[in-house]
């Protein structure tokens, strides 16, 4: 039987972000949102109160899930932070790392004789790291890591750097798994442990991931009991 998550407030981010260059062009990525949507659906089925912050995707809203649609990394950042407090944050979105320094209000035209165009990009704010450092930090913060090689080294680096509790790493560029596929394989890392999940459908993986989240929450030190000292 699967672990109940009744009463837990879970915030999930899913999908890509689109960073607008001008009114007709943007920088995006190939994330379909399927993994995050599968997690949100499975968590709601287990009785959690689920907020889903979705980038631009073509996915139906899962039952009993409260969804907010956003477009850019900056909008996703604002929506995720305003969904706190929560007990668990699952950062499954493929957030753009860079965004155009400025938005061109009208369509950028080719100029005669112009051989190239340089776009200036600036870093986006890291939603996952900001959630992990937030005064209303969820008890458990989980990030994803799409890597093409040295999966464990980069995943463990991310655990420490972003101060998160769990990293779900998947190797991208492997046939039949990753971004646009219905199937995936995940390698979960936490301080002192790891577990391989799949290859399996994203629905099966979502359930296994929620089982692990239930286990990790149970293994964590219980919240400090109310202070009894008087000031
Ligand atoms: O460092 P990297 O982008 O590989 O980390 C991926 C994880 O960080 C994912 O969980 C993703 O949702 C999150 N992320 C974020 N904000 C960003 C970039 C990545 O929350 N600006």
pTM of the model: 0.92
**Which residue puts its alpha carbon closest to atom 9 of ligand 1?**
144
**Which residue, among 147, 141, 134, has the nearest Cα to 160 in the 3D structure?**
141
Q: At what angle do helices 202-219 and 34-45 cross, to 10 degrees?
A: 60
What's the gap in Å between 225 CA and the centre of ligand 1? 33
Helix, strand, coil content of the chain in percent (nearest 5): 25, 30, 45
Q: Is residue 2 part of a domain?
A: no
Per-residue pLDDT tens digits for 214-230: 999 999 866 544 454 44
Instruction: List beta partners, residue 11.
Output: 51, 89
CB within 6 Å of ligand 1 — which residues? 13, 73, 91, 93, 95, 97, 124, 126-128, 143-145, 158
Can you tell me whether residue 120 is helix, strand or coil?
coil
Q: Are 8 and 88 in contact (CB under 8 A)?
A: yes
Active-site residue set: 29
Q: What is the mean pLDDT of residues 3-19?
A: 96
Can you tell me whether residue 111 is helix, strand or coil?
coil
**Which residue, among 163, 181, 160, 161, has the nearest Cα to 172 in the 3D structure?**
181
Q: Is residue 102 part of a domain?
A: no
Rounded Cα distance between 207 and 108, Å, is: 46
pLDDT recorded at residue 123: 98
pLDDT recorded at residue 178: 61
Q: Is residue 191 part of a domain?
A: yes
Q: Is residue 111 part of a domain?
A: no
What's the gap in Å between 116 CA and the centre of ligand 1? 30
Q: Is residue 104 part of a domain?
A: no
pLDDT band at 46 (very low <50, low <70, confident <90, very high): very high
* pLDDT over threshold 60, residue 175: no
Rounded Cα distance between 229 and 231, Å, is: 7
**Which residue puts its alpha carbon closest to atom 6 of ligand 1?**
145
Q: Is residue 188 part of a domain?
A: yes
* pLDDT over threshold 80, residue 158: yes
The first and second tokens of residue 150, run together, are 């040295």
Q: Are 53 and 76 in contact (CB under 8 A)?
A: yes
Residues of the chain with pLDDT > 70: what percent? Answer: 91
Instruction: List beta partners, residue 20.
Output: 26
Q: In 138-174, which positions are buried (b, 16+ CB within 10 angstroms) versus exposed (e)?
A: bbbbbbbbbbeeebeebbbebbeebebbbbbbbbbee
Per-residue pLDDT tens digits for 61-102: 999 999 999 999 999 999 999 999 999 999 999 999 999 999
Instruction: List beta partners, residue 170.
Output: 146
Here the CATH number for the domain that contains residue 181 is 3.40.50.10300
Q: Is residue 231 part of a domain?
A: no
Element (H, E) at 87: none
Domain ranges, residue 177: 9-97+121-219
pLDDT recorded at residue 179: 65
Residue 143 alpha carbon, nearest atom of ligand 1: 10
What's the gap in Å between 95 CA and the centre of ligand 1? 6
Overall number of domains in the chain: 1
Q: Is residue 229 part of a domain?
A: no
């Amino acid at each position: 039987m699967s672990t109940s998550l009744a009463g837990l407030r879970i915030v999930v981010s899913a999908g890509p972000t689109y960073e607008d260059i001008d009114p007709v062009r943007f920088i995006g990525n190939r994330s379909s949102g399927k993994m995050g949507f599968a997690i949100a659906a499975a968590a709601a089925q287990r009785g959690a109160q689920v907020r889903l912050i979705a980038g631009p995707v073509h996915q139906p809203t899962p039952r009993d899930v409260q969804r907010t649609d956003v477009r850019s990394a900056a909008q996703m950042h604002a929506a995720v932070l305003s969904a706190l407090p929560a007990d668990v944050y699952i950062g499954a979105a493929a957030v753009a790392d860079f965004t155009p320094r400025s938005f061109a209000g009208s369509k950028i035209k080719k100029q005669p004789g112009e051989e190239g165009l340089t776009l200036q990009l600036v870093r986006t704010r890291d939603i996952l790291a900001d959630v992990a450092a937030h005064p209303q930090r969820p008890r458990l913060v989980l990030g994803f890591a799409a890597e093409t090689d040295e999966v464990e080294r980069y995943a463990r680096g991310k655990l420490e750097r972003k101060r998160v509790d769990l990293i779900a790493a998947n190797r991208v560029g492997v046939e039949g798994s990753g971004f646009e596929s219905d199937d995936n394989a995940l390698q979960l890392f936490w301080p002192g442990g790891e577990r391989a999940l799949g290859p399996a459908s994203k629905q099966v993986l979502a359930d296994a991931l929620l089982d692990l989240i239930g286990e990790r929450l149970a293994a964590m030190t219980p919240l400090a009991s109310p202070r009894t000292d008087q000031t």
